[in-house]
Structure 1
Amino acid sequence: MSGATSIPVAGQVSPGDEAVEIVTFRLAQGVSFAGFVAANREIDAWLLQQPGFKSRRIGEQPGPCVVDVLLWESEAAARAAMHRMMDELGDSPVHALIDQETVSWTVASIRHRQEIDG
């Protein structure tokens, strides 16, 4: 179809507008979910200082498996922060609470968004 125009779809966003970072892992033997969340105070404070950081949610699945979801202004901001975290907080005690062999990390650009109006 030549000359076709793109019709905007409600909820669509341009690539790079936002990104979601999802990290899943199991806790180290003997570590409770509550203890893990409490140990994240240092990470939470650091995240608040990072360019492009929007929000963080930590969930627990049976197993126990932790799901850590962060929202960023862009995929570039998420990836840059991950590299800075390893440099700046690589020796944080929180890392010892994680079974490192179970870590899965991914970042995806948001391509569609639907929200409830305030």
Structure 2
Amino acid sequence: MTSLRPAPGLSPEDFVTANADINAYLKRQPGFQWRRIMLREDGTILDIVAYDSMEHARAGAAGITGEMANSPVHDTIDHSTVDWQMTTVLQHVV
């Protein structure tokens, strides 16, 4: 789970658009289940990616800054606002 703000002069929509290659990357990752990008009223973006295990989550996350380091999405983020956390789901209601 990551919270962040768009880079100065950019919108949340710019961030979403710049994620096309990241979405394709995620879909190729073992254990990937889903991704949600949400916008809080204060303009903060919440980006939640779910995997079937913490091992797969760590590997997928490592690729965002490794294999996908040249993605245009990185230029749409105010990196001083990023709060990135790995968490374990305790309950999922559908």
* TM-score, reference length from structure 1: 0.74
Q: Which runs of 5+ in 2 are unaligned?
A: none
Picking from 23, 29, 39, the partner of 2:8 is 29
1:39-118 aligned within 5 A = 39-115=18-94
Which protein shows a greater Rg? Answer: 1
User: Structure 1, unaligned stretches of length 5 or more?
Assistant: 1-21
Is the Cα contact below 8 Å between 1:47 and 1:53 reproduced in 2? yes
Q: Could you list the runs of 4 or more consecutive aligned residues of structure 1 that deviate by over 6 angstroms after TM superposition?
A: none
Contact 1:26 1:63 in 2 (8 A): no
Q: Shift of residue 51 of structure 1?
A: 0.5
TM-score (structure 2 length as normaliser): 0.92
Secondary structure, aligned partner of 1:101? strand
**What is the aligned residue count?**
94
Cα distance between partner residues in 2 of 1:111 and 1:62 = 26
Query: What is the RMSD computed on CA atoms of the aligned residues?
Result: 1.1
Deviates more, 1:29-38 or 1:96-105: 29-38
Matched-pair identity in %: 35
Q: After TM superposition, give the deviation of residue 109 of structure 1 in Å.
A: 1.7
